[in-house]
């Protein structure tokens, strides 16, 4: 963090100490470290970091709220009351953030929630609005919502068995061991079933010029998927293939997006889908990366490469992988027809499913049925 912000946070600790709160140097250091992990420009993040590190007793919360409001936000108490009188006004109209109580089960206090000053009003985004027609502010809100999508990869049954009360087979070994301790009585029936483990996921993202309106949101979706599962590999392709999986292993999504954009050199360029898939099979797929995996190809199918190369590459990928899902923003789930492009006509017989990634609603629907795919 910049030195000016650190001094401001340290000064807040001194102001709380002058107000009578037992705030020590170690508490201020923990406060600064917590703010560094979040967004120092967000007053809500700063508020909760300070409340978690600088407040040790419940009766100190009102003092902390008052000092935080006057010192950090520089907002008089009268202005806060002015905004809290109108209970029916929506949040976006007042431009405020209502911070809930830390213990929602305690209803003894009927005081209004603390309002952390004037902030930018919340932006409502239609989930069915195409990414290509969203404004910059709406796209920023969409990426934050994509980051909160809960993702669970599909699973596969292994050859190993584990205890399962509803399993199809009897666990003879456990029953025999249990029979040694029941003095000749009949043991309980113990069952077992196949153990399940996550199936590998491979994402091939088209970052060509025709996908410029969708590629960055799909990359955010890939980042969320990489954070949710262990066996996830992400590649970007335009005229060449680039592996970006290590770059997405960052806690900060903005840092991961920046590193990925710096690594990929053919961003917003041409498209050679067949050559990129062939490169993936040659360098990664045959090594076992795609064996038994669910491969998700995100592309609009506008290809400038050879159709024969694409047909040969997609046929090889079909033999190596478990399932191939093509996510095409030009496809609509209401009309099950395949987009009329030469590349989609070539890959049509070899893919298992075609989906759409044109808006937030389709990505949420795809994430909901991802565990049941295959």
How far is residue 139's CA from residue 137's CA, in Å, rounded to a whole number? Answer: 5
Place of tokens 């935080």: 68
Once rounded to an integer, what is the mean pLDDT over residues 301-307?
A: 88
Q: Give the three-state DSSP class for 331.
A: coil
How far is residue 327's CA from residue 329's CA, in Å, rounded to a whole number? Answer: 7
Classify burial at 181, counting beta carbons within 10 Å of its beta carbon; exposed 0-12, middle 13-18, buried 19 or more.
Answer: exposed
Once rounded to an integer, what is the mean pLDDT over residues 18-24?
A: 85
Once rounded to an integer, what is the mean pLDDT over residues 63-78?
A: 70
pLDDT tens for residues 182-208? 776 777 888 888 888 888 889 999 988
The two three-digit tokens of residue 244, written as one number: 């970006």
The pTM of the whole model exceeds 0.85: no
Once rounded to an integer, what is the mean pLDDT over residues 255-275?
A: 86
pLDDT surpasses 50 at 174 = yes
Average pLDDT over the chain, rounded to whole?
Answer: 78
Number of H helices, E strands in the chain: 14, 11
Superfamily of domain covering 199-372: von Willebrand factor, type A domain (3.40.50.410)
Please check whether residue 120 is in contact with residue 95, taking contact to mean a CB–CB distance below 8 angstroms: yes
pLDDT tens for residues 121-145? 344 556 777 776 777 777 777 777 7
Identify which of 283, 270, 356, 355 has the alpha carbon closest to the alpha carbon of residue 313: 283
Residues of the chain with CATH 3.40.50.410: 199-372
pLDDT score at 71: 73
How far is residue 344's CA from residue 85's CA, in Å, rounded to a whole number? Answer: 58
């Amino acid at each position: 963090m910049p030195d000016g912000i650190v001094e401001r946070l340290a000064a807040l600790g001194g102001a709380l100490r002058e107000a009578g709160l037992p705030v020590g140097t170690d508490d201020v250091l923990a406060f600064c470290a917590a703010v560094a992990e979040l967004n120092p420009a967000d007053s809500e993040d700063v508020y909760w970091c300070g409340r978690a590190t600088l407040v040790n007793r419940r009766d100190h919360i009102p003092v902390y709220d008052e000092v935080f409001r006057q010192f950090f936000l520089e907002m008089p108490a009268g202005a806060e009351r002015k905004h809290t009188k109108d209970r029916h006004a929506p949040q976006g109209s007042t431009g405020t953030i209502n911070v809930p109580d830390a213990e929602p089960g305690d209803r003894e206090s009927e005081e209004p929630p603390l309002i952390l000053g004037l902030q930018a009003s919340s932006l409502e985004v239609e989930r069915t609005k195409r990414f290509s027609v969203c404004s910059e502010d709406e796209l920023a809100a969409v990426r934050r919502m994509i980051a909160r999508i809960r993702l669970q990869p599909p699973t596969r049954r292994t050859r190993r068995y584990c205890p399962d009360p509803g399993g199809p087979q009897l666990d003879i070994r456990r029953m025999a061991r249990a029979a040694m301790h029941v003095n000749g009585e009949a043991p309980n029936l113990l069952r077992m079933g196949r153990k399940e483990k996550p199936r590998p996921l491979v994402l091939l993202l088209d970052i060509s010029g025709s996908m410029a309106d969708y590629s960055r949101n799909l990359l955010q979706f890939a980042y969320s998927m990489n954070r949710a599962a262990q066996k996830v590999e992400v590649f970007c392709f335009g005229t060449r293939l680039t592996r970006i999986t290590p770059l997405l292993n960052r806690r900060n999504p903005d840092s991961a997006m920046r590193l990925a954009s710096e690594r990929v050199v053919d961003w917003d360029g041409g498209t050679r889908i067949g050559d990129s898939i062939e490169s993936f099979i040659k360098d990664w797929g045959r090594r076992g990366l795609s064996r038994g995996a669910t491969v998700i190809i995100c592309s609009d199918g506008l290809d400038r490469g050879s159709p024969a190369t694409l047909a040969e590459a997609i046929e090889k990928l079909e033999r190596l992988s478990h399932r191939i899902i093509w996510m095409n923003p030009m496809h609509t789930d209401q009309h099950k027809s395949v987009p009329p492009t030469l590349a989609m006509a070539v890959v049509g017989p070899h893919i298992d499913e075609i989906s759409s990634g044109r808006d937030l609603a389709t990505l949420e629907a795809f994430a909901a049925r991802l565990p049941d795919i295959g």
